[in-house]
Amino acid sequence: MDSHQLIVCRCEEVTLADLLETAQAYQCTARELKLRTRAGMGCCGGRTCRIFIDQIIEQTTGQVPSHTVPLGFQPPVRPISFTTLGGR
């Protein structure tokens, strides 16, 4: 599988190629990469792809993400009971 098909952020369907091209073109921070590509902005809030975004930034720009402005991940909006979903 090549980088054009490898999906890093499943929630927003952002590929490794998208992340690498954006990081190289803009020499951006991890936060900027997230904002430009929407990686880490899906329903999981970056729990799955945040580490990969940090690694891509470190490899392409040499910057070590400081997390002074964290990427931020959050739980789903609110829990829903099975009864509400139609259970008994």
In the chain, what are the domains?
1-88 (1.10.10)
Query: In the structure encoding, which two tokens stand for residue 32, read together?
Result: 């900027």
Q: Is the pTM of this model over 0.75?
A: no
- Residues 45 and 72 sit within 8 Å (Cβ to Cβ): yes
Q: 73: which residues sit within 8 A by CB, 6+ positions away?
A: 40, 44, 45, 46, 47, 50
Q: What is the pLDDT of residues 17-37, one digit of tens each?
A: 999 999 999 998 888 999 999
Query: In the structure encoding, which two tokens stand for residue 51, read together?
Result: 């580490």
- For residue 74, what pLDDT band results from cuts at 50, 70 and 90? low
Separation between Cα atoms, residue 33 and residue 55, nearest integer Å: 12
